[in-house]
Chain A
């Protein structure tokens, strides 16, 4: 009869659902959500009773000494009891999947919530009588627990059937791989809602009391961290929806686990920080309330960690109370961290922590008053702010009991241990601040690793691109064999840092062998930026730069070997002597000592620096340092000599010497490329010039043509400058 009622009710619910769905096809998901909430409510109601099965002790008859007579606690035979333990376990898991299914469109979840849950529902119908015995210890179909159980099974069956039909419509019958995956997910996730009495039922008191860092206590501490690491590693490659499901699933599991036992009395109200947390977890994940989430993140994680390190459990670890304590704190500790790591909630900002502190303050004030109030009726110690659990542990009972405020109101006495409670509050706030720094350190570490991986990937890609461009040639050969006698800049652009503004934009230029090429522009026009990118000091934002056919970006070593560079500042080690400095540079440019010494002696005479070469550079004048830098740039006889404002601050003789060297170097068939804002110098020694203003190339001019046309370079420059200025003003 009872089977008939259950199946009829299932059929009715099913047809009711179909009717709703058929009537308004678009509301299919809404109907599913209504049924999800209904199932959740039915589940909540049945939590108000404690099942007889929970008292079953040591079904496997493990050899332990105990005052409990195991046989007296058994409700039926061993096999059926064990079977029923697992059936109840999987039924709770099925409810969890069915409650969450309408909110996520995931294939495995749909499969589980169709076929597996239907199968579990059917098993419950078949073993209906055994279920009732497990709940009540006797067969009584009229008890409210039995009636709600009928509704529970009916909804499970109806919703599963609806899902199953929809699944077959959408995907046809499930393939073997889908069945395997579905079963695997179902089995793995079953760990999250392990019935807290299962070890007690099967093994009795075989565990240990987790205290003083015994192995069980260490296990208690390690498990959430292992769970976090594996949870993260397993989920990090999944889609965001899968990650969100995972986080929601854990939040619901935490809720199911915490409330899976009927709690009696005021002391068991969920007002301890970590007990309140499971409710807040559910709210923050269902309604996306960030305030509640970050309260969990900053306050509850600290609380849960402290609870695991200093557990106040005096029962066997296999006891349901100890299991509940463990699951509660594991979830509260691991869940917020995983939720941020998997990006269900964003990485907190400092203001989120301040908000969390505010929420904690409200909670704390409420809890202090609630403790003071409820202790009039029964001894309670929510969050340990009233009793002496913590003050005993830290040996500060004196502070607690010597600083008391109390008042009477309507016959009730309100007691506040004000100093202890203020210190407790401050200590917790301090811990929250500390947690911010710990989180920040972790974020910095993981962000750094992430950037590093991206960078390494980019480097590998660049290397592969280079090999592709070289098309089988050696890596030391130029990328552009046609450009071995020139500097080639193509569409070069440069931005600094995160700036939106281009320092140089879309700059293209070719300079040939034997040329002295002048680069003219006002201060800040982009001359130094271009040169610094050309010699490899700065990166290139867009475009390409080639020296003698080598790309400075992808073949920097080969390109730099062809360059001699004189910077706009003296890059010299002042504590070395001139000779030591030149030797150092020569080593960097791989010049052998014989050639180095030959060239050095010649250049020293040319630049009149023989007398000072063995003295420390710190004793040199500005001009002497500049000459030394010029010598160091020429020590490897570069094909391309690049100088950035080389004549600034030099006396006429030194300036003349350097100009002479520039001409001679070009005459040998090399390139001399230099920047200046001194028009007369450029006019005098250059073969060609380029004018740059505000980061844009204004033109390239042949000095012979300019001279032939009798155009003043100064006037030409000013006209370009004014033109560019006008454009900028507009």
Chain B
């Protein structure tokens, strides 16, 4: 059994990591580089903790450490749940793995091990340096550093076990919702309305005249209390933290061992048997509702492609929602942040800074919402063959996909700004609409740029074989580019508002327009030159 699990794990890991020639020098160099990175991160985090302790006056004690542990682990669990749902139950490699001479349990276990290794890698580059840096800052004893060596192996196990359990529940719910679109729609609307109401209710608690300097002490006291309360409810993480700092070693060890045992049992008894049932579920022969189509007159290729995008989008509301979730949340974020700003004691410079900060937030959210553009061609997968064999100028597909993205994102942006205008009347109306034009142009430029990245290096085969866009380099590249451009335009905004306040918006819009022009020309040129070369 162990041998088979080892082989299966190795197979999946090799598929997901870059292959390098085996060369001892390279291995040592890579190892040295990794150690150097960890050392550098440790130094950086140490400095950061000193800053938190000595300049921000936030107590860096056991509670702080447990709080950070809980915070990072909760984030990891949330991310792991969404990734595991795709990687375990919906991954296309299941069809290969399940046919191999191995038990279903072994495949399940190997998948969890692969995920465990990935989580361990992440922890190694963040939590390990953090825990060491914390040790330096709070001058922990030798035993603390020894305990780190055990803890960094335990933490990924907890993440993977909890995520595996929750993801299976989530998959079951998803399967149900997929069959009942109206329930999904109703729940989504209900969720959005609830969130809006909740946020509106919470915002009303923001005190008038926030004076950061005067409020700082009470803020720090409040934050410390909050961290303590969270740490007290940290269950296993509280036990881990206490064990590391040497208090109640026996009891805390027992709590940790018991929790790990329970997590193992839950996965063994509950998730393991459900794995095969869920992965082997096929949609073949499921009778679906007949869709009668209105026979429209053929109006050209663009409309053919556009109609196809629209039809697929209509039948994939969940994908649509996840693609644009940040833009949907944009008005909410803007409302919350500006409600806080509005209650602050501000100077005229402060008002300008708020405007600039709004620009930054909006640009970054637009960037993060454009992942659909950067995988537009990639998600054609094997179907791209149709475009290669068709006797038409199929590069129109790019324009159709772009138009589709552009329309959806523009509507969401417009909606955001309308809500922005209604909910925050203190802002100058002209400023809001000029900001909308600025954001609208940025969104268009970002769509062009993201598309270009995909056209130059589409991952058709990867998508066709896995059906997943996780670990897509193009997405990282597009997000990185977008982030840098957002920062650049924010810096420009600061400069323009400081030196040319009266014509600031006009200058910014002109600059954004030039940037959009450049991105459009670049996209169009690359599209004409390289679309024909895209090969499956």
Q: Residues on A close to B: CB < 8 A?
A: 426, 448, 452, 455-456, 459, 535-539, 556-561, 563, 565, 567, 569-573, 575-577, 579-580, 583-585, 587-590, 592-593, 614-616, 618-622
Contact = CB atoms under 8 A, between A and B. Distances in A.
Contacts of A614: 290-293
Q: Which of B286, B287, B386 has the most CB of A within 10 A?
A: B386
Interface in B240-291: 283-291
9 contacts: A456-B529, A560-B391, A572-B383, A583-B293, A589-B391, A593-B297, A615-B287, A616-B315, A619-B288
Interface in B299-330: 301, 304, 308, 311-312, 315-316
B394 interface: yes
B40 to A, nearest CB: 8
B291 A561 contact: no
Contact of A537 (B288, B383, B385): B385
Nearest to A588: B390
B454 to A, nearest CB: 14
A557 B532 CA distance: 11
B383 A557 contact: no
A580 B292 CA distance: 9
A459 B308 contact: no
B471 interface: no
B535 A580 contact: no
A619 B283 contact: yes
B298 A593 contact: yes
B525 interface: yes
Q: Which of B385, B530, B536 has the most CB of A within 10 A?
A: B385
A450 B427 CA distance: 47
B382 interface: yes
Contact of B311 (A565, A580, A618): A580
Contacts of B430: none
B529 A455 contact: yes
B291 A577 contact: yes
Nearest to B307: A584
A537 B284 contact: no
Contact of A580 (B285, B288, B289, B291): B291
Closest 7 CB pairs between A and B? A560-B391, A561-B391, A587-B304, A588-B390, A614-B290, A571-B385, A537-B388
Contacts of B293: 577, 579-580, 583, 614
Contacts of B383: 571-573
B390 A575 contact: no
Contacts of B530: 455
A575 B380 CA distance: 12
A420 to B, nearest CB: 13
Given A452-B529, A575-B311, A619 B285 contact: yes
A577 B314 CA distance: 13
Nearest to A213: B499
B285 A590 contact: no
A226 to B, nearest CB: 19
B502 interface: no
Contacts of A621: 284-285
B298 A537 contact: no
Interface in B382-406: 382-386, 388-394
A618 B283 contact: yes
A452 B524 CA distance: 12
Contacts of A589: 390-392
B501 interface: no
B325 to A, nearest CB: 20
Contact of B386 (A452, A561, A585, A615): A585
B308 A584 contact: yes
Q: Which of B285, B316, B388 has the most CB of A within 10 A?
A: B388
Contacts of A557: 391-393
Nearest to A429: B40
Contacts of B312: 573, 575-576
Interface residues of B, number: 43
B526 interface: yes
Contacts of A558: 391
A565 B389 contact: yes
B31 to A, nearest CB: 16
Nearest to A570: B382
Contacts of B388: 535-537
A537 B392 contact: no
B301 A588 contact: yes
A116 to B, nearest CB: 44
Contact of B392 (A426, A573, A588, A619): A588
Nearest to B297: A593
A620 B287 CA distance: 9
Given A536-B389, A537-B535, A573-B383, A584 B529 contact: no
B431 interface: no
Interface string B333-351: 0000000000000000000
A558 B392 CA distance: 9
B295 interface: yes
B391 A567 contact: no
Nearest to A622: B284
B533 interface: yes
Contacts of B290: 577, 614-615
Interface in B81-126: none
Nearest to A550: B391
A620 B391 contact: no
Contacts of B394: 588
B434 to A, nearest CB: 25
B389 A620 contact: no
B301 A587 contact: yes
A616 B391 contact: no
A559 B283 CA distance: 37
B308 A539 contact: no
B292 A590 contact: no
Contacts of B536: 537
Contacts of B389: 535-537, 560, 563, 565
A587 B315 contact: no
Given A571-B386, A587-B301, A452 B391 contact: no
Given A575-B315, A618-B283, A567 B533 contact: no
A538 B295 CA distance: 34
A112 B311 CA distance: 73
A464 to B, nearest CB: 17
Nearest to B386: A571
A616 B382 contact: no
Contacts of A585: 386, 390
A578 B529 CA distance: 33
A588 B391 contact: yes
A460 to B, nearest CB: 11
Contacts of B291: 577, 580, 614-616
Given A558-B391, A575-B311, A579-B293, A587 B298 contact: yes
A456 B527 CA distance: 11
Nearest to B47: A423
B401 to A, nearest CB: 13
Nearest to B303: A587
A622 B95 CA distance: 15
Contacts of A569: 382, 385
A218 to B, nearest CB: 11
A584 B390 CA distance: 11
Contact of B295 (A573, A575, A593): A593
B429 to A, nearest CB: 33
A584 B304 contact: yes
A448 B453 CA distance: 11
A266 B298 CA distance: 83
Given A455-B530, A539-B533, A567 B385 contact: yes
B383 to A, nearest CB: 5
A572 B394 CA distance: 16
Contacts of B391: 556-561, 563, 588-590
A436 B464 CA distance: 35
Q: Which of B295, B308, B393 has the most CB of A within 10 A?
A: B308
A258 B392 CA distance: 64
A575 B316 contact: yes
Contacts of B295: 583, 593
